[in-house]
Structure 1
């Protein structure tokens, strides 16, 4: 892992403040004090507090996208690709629970900000890469016939729901303990293969 930049330090300081006192209660001055950066540096890198919020969101979701890209480069089957969508998400959330909690609660805010268009474009590219990775397998008939948006929801929906509950402290089971179960459930829900073991 490379050395942290000043921008990284500011973002991590902002995340710590958001986690401790909430996004709305966090001020630029609090982020400045936590990061050790000057007000000028904060405004230079991010423009304003909303710019910090948007950047923190974009960097976090970008990390998950990078995990997927690396995994897709090595995955050699439809099943591996589908399970990767689940396991990469779980691995990132378990490693970054505060960041994941921030992302889950900040999407509408970022969409309404000056960087909303950038977020929508990033999401479009993200899902395009996923569908591209799965396209060949879909053409081979390895998936049930369904619309693209249904496919995505079936794969990640249950994991997303359990993750929300885990992050909110509403589950008795640890998220990473459900990693393989949720990955298998995702594959079972979209695979065209008939499971004869039941």
Structure 2
């Protein structure tokens, strides 16, 4: 990598880090070019050069943190020895990630993320294909083994992640959920909804 490329990467990282800080402090309304460039010490021209627009910056920020979350989820599943322990690890990993990265969690579960996801769903999904493939393969493997019910992948994804996302959103916005309690209760409840042999 040339020195110029390295400087460009450092600048892009500064902008992404600053954007997350601004978002955590001021919410979506405060996420402006002036706020991000002021917090990063980077010129507006550099922001437009690297990301094209504020939407481009937010998309890159969402992609960065989605990649990190998915990577941790895949690692949790790969370390599990059964579908049931995989669900438990996945739930606990997701909730721990949200607790440890609250600002990123706020962004990932924001209406802005939902809006971008609706308008750029295919682009975001294509960008995450490398991370999503192991998740899909894990689910398929446990459906084929007879542990997980043979439901459509989109339904399984909703049954597994829907409750975790709902609890995360509530903790981030209202703060009236105990994440430790959720991490204890949700895995077995979710497992019963996807198990091929619910008890």
TM-score using structure 1 length: 0.83
Aligned length: 190
Matched, 1:24 2:29: yes
Structure 1: tracts of 5 or more residues without a match: none
Matched residue, 2:114: 108
More helix by share: 2
Aligned to 2:154: 149
Q: Tell me: CA distance 1:47–1:91, structure 2 relative to 1, closer, same or farther (3 Å).
A: same
Query: Matches of residues 131-142 of structure 1 in structure 2 within 5 Å?
Result: 131-142=136-147
4+ runs deviating over 3 angstroms = 122-128
1:181 corresponds in structure 2 to 185
Contact 2:167 2:182 in 1 (8 A): no
| Corresponding residue SS for 1:24 | helix
CA contact (8 A) 1:155 1:186 kept: yes
- Cα deviation, 1:70-107, whole Å, max 9, x if unaligned, reads 22332221112222321221111111112111121222
Match of 1:87 in 2: 92
Output the CA distance in 1 between the equivalents of 2:56 and 2:25: 19
In the TM superposition, what whole-angstrom CA distance separates every residue of 1:39-87 from its partner, at most 9, and x where no partner exists?
Answer: 2332232122111111111111111111122223322211122223212
Higher RCO by CA contacts (8 Å cutoff, separation 6 or greater) = 1
Return the alpha-carbon distance in structure 1 between the equivalents of residues 60 and 29 of structure 2: 16
Q: Normalising to structure 2: TM-score of the pair?
A: 0.82
Moved more, 102-111 or 116-125: 116-125
SS at match of 1:193: coil
- Please, which moves more after superposition, 38-47 or 60-69? 38-47
Task: Please state whether the residue corresponding to 1:141 is helix, strand or coil.
Answer: coil
In the alignment, structure 2 segments of 5+ residues that lack a partner are 1-8
Does structure 1 residue 7 correspond to structure 2 residue 12? yes
Matched position secondary structure for 1:76? coil
Query: Per-residue deviation at 1:5?
Result: 3.8
Structure 1 match to 2:5: none
1:75 touches 1:81 (CA, 8 Å); kept in 2? Answer: yes
CA distance in 2 between counterparts of 1:164 and 1:104 reads 6
